[in-house]
Amino acid sequence: MKKYTDQGKNDTRSGYGAAMTELGRSHPNVVALCADLVASLKIQDFIDENPDRFFQTGIAEANMMGMAAGLTIGGKIPFASTFANFATGRVYDQIRQSIAYSGKNVKICASHAGITLGEDGATHQILEDIGMMKMLPGMTVINPCDYNQTKAATLAIADYVGPVYLRFGRPKVANFTPVDQKFEIGKGLLLNEGTDVTIIATGHLVWEALKAAESLEEQGISAEVLNIHTIKPLDEEAVLKSVKKTGCVVSAEEHNYLGGLGESIARTLAVHYPAPQEFVATQDTFGESGTPADLMEKYGLNNKAIEKAVLKVMKRK
Amino acid sequence: MKKYTDQGKNDTRSGYGAAMTELGRSHPNVVALCADLVASLKIQDFIDENPDRFFQTGIAEANMMGMAAGLTIGGKIPFASTFANFATGRVYDQIRQSIAYSGKNVKICASHAGITLGEDGATHQILEDIGMMKMLPGMTVINPCDYNQTKAATLAIADYVGPVYLRFGRPKVANFTPVDQKFEIGKGLLLNEGTDVTIIATGHLVWEALKAAESLEEQGISAEVLNIHTIKPLDEEAVLKSVKKTGCVVSAEEHNYLGGLGESIARTLAVHYPAPQEFVATQDTFGESGTPADLMEKYGLNNKAIEKAVLKVMKRK
Amino acid sequence: MYSQKIEITFGAFNNRHLQMAKLDELQDIVTQTRRDILRMVHKVNSGHPGGSLGCTEFMVALYNEIMDLKEGFDMDGIGEDLFFLSNGHISPVFYSVLARKGYFPVEELSTFRLINSRLQGHPTTHEGLPGVRIASGSLGQGMSVALGAAQAKKLNGDDHLVFSLHGDGELQEGQNWEAIMYAAGNGIDNLISTVDRNGKQIDGPTSEVLPMGDIAEKFRAFGWDVLEIENGNDLEEVIAGLNEAKSRTGKGKPVGIIMNTEMGNGVDFMMHTHAWHGKAPNDEQLEKALAQNPETLGDY
Amino acid sequence: MYSQKIEITFGAFNNRHLQMAKLDELQDIVTQTRRDILRMVHKVNSGHPGGSLGCTEFMVALYNEIMDLKEGFDMDGIGEDLFFLSNGHISPVFYSVLARKGYFPVEELSTFRLINSRLQGHPTTHEGLPGVRIASGSLGQGMSVALGAAQAKKLNGDDHLVFSLHGDGELQEGQNWEAIMYAAGNGIDNLISTVDRNGKQIDGPTSEVLPMGDIAEKFRAFGWDVLEIENGNDLEEVIAGLNEAKSRTGKGKPVGIIMNTEMGNGVDFMMHTHAWHGKAPNDEQLEKALAQNPETLGDY
Ligand SMILES: Cc1ncc(C[n+]2csc(CCOP(=O)(O)OP(=O)(O)O)c2C)c(N)n1
Ligand SMILES: Cc1ncc(C[n+]2csc(CCOP(=O)(O)OP(=O)(O)O)c2C)c(N)n1
Ligand SMILES: [Mg+2]
Ligand SMILES: [Mg+2]
């Protein structure tokens, strides 16, 4: 299989921060908002270079989302950022009415998503945000997999007109996608061709999927790896093309198995091409404190979990 | 097929109100909360009989959910009620932390769910609440189909210990389930036996499913109708048993097709028994103002839509 | 998204004309707007006449005397004053005032709350109705939006003002206090937010539902410059109050107006009660109510 | 749910004993608690020492001198005072005070923030840790919970009090103002809510992040009875303030305490900055910090 090399571990949120610095220079209408989490969001450079284009809302996420909607009136492109839980669950109705239904060009940028947030524990580890945001009509939902992809996605959404939910994370993880890879919203990336099983992964789980595919290859199993970075609109064509070839699928996401990417795939298959699927995801539990690695192991969110799921789903073909 | 008769149109929220009156008399620890929508929630009788056990929070749903959590400390069983949008999207993070993760015995009672709320329009017509609530670990999610079932469900959840989301609606609809039918949380009800297709319906769509099944019978199609009133925990056994018999399924819900009951069924099938499925649901759009009947017609949420979906899914067997 | 540019030529009531407009000319619009409100909610037997009738003077004055408006409508509203209706349920008065101002055909008022209409139960940008810049309906969100728009004006070097309207019951929503704190803390002094203090909400008088104490004092404690309009159903007082508020902008503080109104104003049997917050008159009641508000500019 | 009844016998610091306790006995707990906080966050290189150290006197006084507590722990807490920590990130001080009071073994402090621990990064009922009655961490929710518990006490005819603690930055969350308005409007006078006014939050001084003006004035404008503790790191002042607050309960108004503290108090290099809000000391820093807080009751 194609080999991917880790260009050096980095956090996806730093990809967001780096892109914001670039956007600060290239896009005069881009403005940033943050609710008392500037350092975590890695936007200090943007702020230093564009102090007038930054809005510190304090610990008031609802007000931040409304202000972001208002800033579009007058032509601004607001990037409203905070932790993923406070960027979704805390403000769902505000996003729904003032941004999604009102059709405002707001970019909701959410760091520390998922269980790899780590030690802060369950109150901060949102595992339902993909599901929430995907249910909003008109919302684009993106969960990039590494530093490079996050940076590219951030740049891409600035030029797309419409509300976007961009989800990224806290820990330093492998950075393996090409630095110059263009980000196409809604277009799945075929990372590895295979014939026995399709692994569809998003976010931090993509690297794990690649590791799993390598190990499966050694066992004589040919796994296709599809990176769905855009959960909505879902690249149904790419999903169906692959599953029609392999006949079974494992979905992998840092999210509850209820409501997320996995269920979107199950629905797509149910409507077009029913096939066996296994879910690598959290199993309807809250997270807990711990190191990201410990948590991924305990909650079955790593390459080993994917491998196990592949072996299981292949038996069901 | 078994015939169901409409015992007289009534609104499901009145079933809630009637049960609250009974609980007021039978359960001294039951308390009610409401955020400036008492008449809509039909709880005036409860309030009149138990003024000390009612908490009017004003237009402050977040505070209401937190207060409900607090009231459990001291042994109360709070029924916190408002419109479904304000009972979920407005307060997701409060429910998540103070109720679900904290394991509090709060009943979130949500009226005016779905598009049949009617004339108030999209800002009030939540079509994502089932999805949101089903993603919360430990939450029980119930969407009864008529007055009798809503009343029975309300009585049942008072005796169940744990957080519950109970969803009901505004318009007067057919009341057809037996008045004395015991409500078993998590247990699907087989309303009609059939062999060609399974229709799984919840809420207002159950009556539509029965009407569809009648008309299908005239066309020589034998439709099994399963009432899933409890979306979570899902009665997977009932779903699988029926679909294994019929080989295909139509899900029907007053909800976005993304994230709701339909996707829960697709997931269950993908994991256990892949089969063709069609979704009767809103198609990822916001609602709009109009009469409930007009809206159900326009958004494809009635017996005709179910019939069409049945014919389509049967061709895919 | 829904930001199409629309060419509109304002009719009789354009700004220059209105600067000379007599009070009784405005009063004619007020009376006609009351008729529009009543006929709109009656037709579909739903909607919110109470708050609409109470805010009629304010809305008519705002659009026909106070705000500096461009001809036509575009979403960005650069170079003109902006208005945001946070208490979206009083859409009938908003729609009537917009239509009579020329934003869309007056006849379209007859589609209020019907299926496939641009005049949704609560105002929205979703259907492209000119004059509306944000959806409202779920309460408590409008001041945040107005704040954002006010900041955009500052960034754009646009010295026009942003106005917003809020229900008194609506202030029970915490998001308002986030916005109120932010506006003062950041010196958003191109914003004039008005509170419709009618003392009523759905379940009854605010004093019974959730006593709110002195609202002006609360705004002041949060750092706002606050003035009161004693009788928000007196056109002259409303205009004077709004002009006074305008004169206080640009001084480092957001400006708040506590405006006392009577819910259901202009229809005797709808006043002094919260009963008509969200209830439409029947045929007989409509007739009675219209008789108290004789046609001035022609019914739609 | 997580409402198991747990038998605990409070050790040296039971209530009767504490009524006679000398201030320096409490001071010993304070110092030991500071050590616990520092060692907990150091071990896992994460957690929030700043706010914890600033609230140590308050928490020690509350649990060892002020609150009327039953022996043992059950979720309902009928017949005893209750405490809710709304600013859940200062869990280290909460855990240390609970452990030293006897709610769970002091040794368990060494599991803070590790996988499979009951001592989660933010306090939770989910793992059954005695002493904790609600999860917190997402800010702004605790006062609503405290209000509910206070109402339950009234319904149960239980005349004990409910206490809560909130960060000053936390007050930027609108839900607080919903609760503050409700509490006054409904005369919840068995509640004492304290604000940790350290003037700091994550991104800097509150005066720079989002100026909040006079917090006491805001509470008063919302109808609360408010008192201030000038130096919240002076044990005597804290106790006097809390006793004064207790004496003001039962008079129809919720009681608020604005307590001035120094973030990072007790460790010289952690004070006068927001830098240690959520940062753990390294080995060398720990040593320095512990030297300023010598062992009193024995490290865990
Ligand atoms: C977030 C939210 N909660 C509840 C409602 C339901 N609701 C609509 S209007 C209203 C009362 C509003 O009171 P007020 O702001 O005083 O307006 P008035 O009745 O005076 O017009 C309520 C509770 C809503 N629209 N949004
Ligand atoms: C709803 C929510 N938004 C943001 C955060 C992230 N956060 C944790 S602590 C904190 C600052 C809190 O400031 P303050 O209440 O003054 O506490 P202090 O820093 O003084 O301990 C923030 C923003 C959070 N936990 N919850
Ligand atoms: Mg009012
Ligand atoms: Mg602080």
In a domain, A61, yes or no: yes
CA of D125 to the centre of ligand 2 (A): 20
In a domain, A86, yes or no: yes
List C-alpha distances in Å: B78 to B20, B190, D151. 11, 31, 12
Residue-level pLDDT at C9: 59
Assign D7 a pLDDT band (cuts: 50, 70, 90). Answer: low
Residue-level pLDDT at D85: 98
CA dist B148 and D195 (Å) reads: 48
Q: At B274, which CATH number? A: 3.40.50.920
- CB-count burial class (<10 Å; 0-12, 13-18, 19+) for B220: exposed
DSSP C71: S
Specify whether B164 is located in the same domain as B30. yes
* CA atoms in the 13 A half-sphere facing the CB of A277: 34
Specify whether A157 is located in the same domain as A218. no
Do C185 and D215 form a contact (C-beta atoms < 8 A)? no
Q: Is-cis flag, bond preceding A233, omega within 30? A: yes
Residue-level pLDDT at D287: 98
* Nearest Cα residue to atom 23 of ligand 1: B36
Specify whether A310 is located in the same domain as A217. yes
Which of B58, C108, A82 has the alpha carbon at shortest distance from D184? B58
Do C149 and C97 form a contact (C-beta atoms < 8 A)? no
Of all helices (H) and strands (E), which one includes residue D39? helix D23-44
* Residue % of chain D over a pLDDT of 70: 93
Mean pLDDT, range C68-78, rounded to an integer: 97
Specify whether B119 is located in the same domain as B212. no
Walk along chain A (317 residues) and give the pLDDT tens digit of each residue.
888 999 999 999 999 999 999 999 999 999 999 999 999 999 999 999 999 999 999 999 999 999 999 999 999 999 999 999 999 999 999 999 999 999 999 999 999 999 999 999 999 999 999 999 999 999 999 999 999 999 999 999 999 999 999 999 999 999 999 999 999 999 999 999 999 999 999 999 999 999 999 999 999 999 999 999 999 999 999 999 999 999 999 999 999 999 999 999 999 999 999 999 999 999 999 999 999 999 999 999 999 999 999 999 999 99
pLDDT beyond 70 at D15: no
DSSP C275: T
Q: At A93, which CATH number? A: 3.40.50.970
Do A95 and C144 form a contact (C-beta atoms < 8 A)? no
Residue of B94, B96, B102 to mutate for D, most D C-beta atoms under 10 A: B102
What is the SS3 assignment for C293?
coil
Specify whether B210 is located in the same domain as B237. yes
Cα angle B205-B206-B212, degrees, rounded to a multiple of 5? 85
Residue B220 corresponds to which tokens in the numbers above? 């020589």
Asked if B56 lies within 8 A of C121 by C-beta distance, the reply is: no
C200 ligand 1 Cβ < 6 A: yes
DSSP D63: I
B140 at the A interface (CB within 8 A)?
Answer: no
Whether B61 is catalytic is yes
Whole-number CA gyration radius for chain A: 19
Which of C37, C80, C81 has the alpha carbon at shortest distance from C56? C37
In a domain, B67, yes or no: yes
**Interface ipTM:** 0.97
pLDDT beyond 60 at D101: yes
CA dist D138 and D121 (Å) reads: 12
B168 ligand 1 Cβ < 6 A: no
Which of B38, D290, D119 has the alpha carbon at shortest distance from C274? B38
In a domain, A2, yes or no: no
pLDDT beyond 60 at D2: no
Reported as a single tens digit per residue, the pLDDT across D231-277 is: 999 999 999 999 999 999 999 999 999 999 999 999 999 999 999 99
Residue D294 corresponds to which tokens in the numbers above? 């010598």
Specify whether A168 is located in the same domain as A24. yes
Neighboring chain B residues of A88 at a CB cutoff of 8 Å: 92
Q: Is-cis flag, bond preceding B137, omega within 30? A: no
Instruction: Locate all alpha helices (DSSP H) within C120-234, ordered by sequence.
Output: 142-155, 174-185, 206-209, 215-221
Chain mean pLDDT for chain D: 94
pLDDT beyond 70 at D18: no
Partners of A11 in beta bridges: A172
Final residue in a domain of this structure, among A173, A201, A232: A173
Give chain B as a 3 state SS string. Answer: CCCCCCCCCEEHHHHHHHHHHHHHHHCCCEEEEECCCHHHHCCHHHHHHCHHHEEECCCCHHHHHHHHHHHHCCCCEEEEEEEHHHHCHHHHHHHHHHHHHCCCCCEEEEECCCHHHCCCCCCCCCCCHHHHHHCCCCCEEECCCCHHHHHHHHHHHHHCCCCEEEECCCCEECCCCCCCCCCCCCCCEEEECCCCEEEEECCCHHHHHHHHHHHHHHCCCCEEEEECCEEECCCHHHHHHHHHHHCCEEEEEEEECCCCHHHHHHHHHHHHCCCCEEEEEECCCCCCCCCHHHHHHHCCCCHHHHHHHHHHHHHCC
A132 at the B interface (CB within 8 A)?
Answer: yes
- CB-count burial class (<10 Å; 0-12, 13-18, 19+) for A273: middle
Specify the number of domains making up chain A.
Answer: 2
Name the neighbours of D, counting chains with at least 3 Cβ pairs within 8 A.
Answer: A, B, C
- CB-count burial class (<10 Å; 0-12, 13-18, 19+) for C74: middle
DSSP A183: P
In a domain, B40, yes or no: yes
Residue-level pLDDT at D21: 55
Reported as a single tens digit per residue, the pLDDT across B66-122 is: 999 999 999 999 999 999 999 999 999 999 999 999 999 999 999 999 999 999 999
Specify whether A284 is located in the same domain as A225. yes
Q: Any idea which ligand is nearest the CA of C51? A: 1
pLDDT beyond 70 at D147: yes
Which of C178, C210, C218 is opposite residue D174, by nearest beta carbon? C178
Residue of B83, B91, B123, B299 to mutate for C, most C C-beta atoms under 10 A: B123
Of all helices (H) and strands (E), which one includes residue A172? strand A172-173
Asked if B294 lies within 8 A of C44 by C-beta distance, the reply is: no
Q: How many CB atoms lie within 10 A of CB B16?
A: 26
In a domain, A5, yes or no: no
In a domain, A183, yes or no: no
Q: Which ligand 1 atom sits nearest the alpha carbon of residue C198?
A: 20
Give chain C's count of helices (H) and strands (E): 11, 7
Residue of D173, D178, D209 to mutate for C, most C C-beta atoms under 10 A: D178
A216-220, D22-26, D101-105, D204-208: which has the minimum mean pLDDT? D22-26
Task: Look at the block and give the residue holding tokens 């020492």.
Answer: D49
Q: CA of B278: which chain A residue's CA is closest?
A: A271
Task: Look at the block and give the residue holding tokens 């009226």.
Answer: B111
C1 at the A interface (CB within 8 A)?
Answer: yes
Mean pLDDT, range C49-78, rounded to an integer: 98
Assign D10 a pLDDT band (cuts: 50, 70, 90). Answer: low
Residue-level pLDDT at B1: 80
Specify whether B151 is located in the same domain as B224. no
Final residue in a domain of this structure, among A173, A200, A216: A173
Which residues lie below 8 Å from residue B171, measured CB to CB, with a gap of 6+?
A: B11, B116, B118, B204, B292
Specify whether B213 is located in the same domain as B143. no
Q: Residues for chain C: how many in total? A: 300
pLDDT beyond 70 at C183: yes
Reported as a single tens digit per residue, the pLDDT across D164-174 is: 999 999 999 99
Asked if C210 lies within 8 A of B295 by C-beta distance, the reply is: no
Domain boundaries defined on chain D: 16-291
* Residue % of chain C over a pLDDT of 90: 93
Measured over the CA atoms of residue C215, residue C216, residue C220 and residue C223, the dihedral's sign is positive
Specify whether A134 is located in the same domain as A248. no
Of all helices (H) and strands (E), which one includes residue C228? strand C225-229
CA dist B20 and A316 (Å) reads: 48
Which domain, by its residues, includes B93? 10-173
Cα angle B135-B95-D222, degrees, rounded to a multiple of 5? 155
Walk along chain B (317 residues) and give the pLDDT tens digit of each residue.
888 999 999 999 999 999 999 999 999 999 999 999 999 999 999 999 999 999 999 999 999 999 999 999 999 999 999 999 999 999 999 999 999 999 999 999 999 999 999 999 999 999 999 999 999 999 999 999 999 999 999 999 999 999 999 999 999 999 999 999 999 999 999 999 999 999 999 999 999 999 999 999 999 999 999 999 999 999 999 999 999 999 999 999 999 999 999 999 999 999 999 999 999 999 999 999 999 999 999 999 999 999 999 999 999 99
Reported as a single tens digit per residue, the pLDDT across D39-79 is: 999 999 999 999 999 999 999 999 999 999 999 999 999 99
Residue B60 corresponds to which tokens in the numbers above? 């402050």
Residue-level pLDDT at D3: 47
Do A310 and A279 form a contact (C-beta atoms < 8 A)? no
C157 at the A interface (CB within 8 A)?
Answer: no
C3 ligand 1 Cβ < 6 A: no
Residue-level pLDDT at B214: 98
C201 ligand 1 Cβ < 6 A: yes
Do B104 and D1 form a contact (C-beta atoms < 8 A)? yes
In the structure, ligand 4 is a single-atom ion and the residues with CB under 5 Å from it are D 167-169, 198, 200-201
Q: Which amino acid is at C202?
A: I
CA of C202 to the centre of ligand 3 (A): 8
Closest Cα of chain D to B68: distance in Å?
Answer: 6
Asked if A70 lies within 8 A of C185 by C-beta distance, the reply is: no
Residue-level pLDDT at C8: 63
Which residues lie below 8 Å from residue B181, measured CB to CB, with a gap of 6+?
A: B148, B149, B152
Neighboring chain B residues of C136 at a CB cutoff of 8 Å: 123
Topology (CATH level 3) of domain D16-291 = Rossmann fold (3.40.50)
Do A130 and A255 form a contact (C-beta atoms < 8 A)? yes
pLDDT beyond 70 at C134: yes
B270 ligand 1 Cβ < 6 A: no
Of all helices (H) and strands (E), which one includes residue C201? strand C200-201
Of all helices (H) and strands (E), which one includes residue D228? strand D225-229
Do B169 and B142 form a contact (C-beta atoms < 8 A)? no
Residue D140, by phi and psi: left (phi above 0), alpha (psi -120 to 50) or beta? left
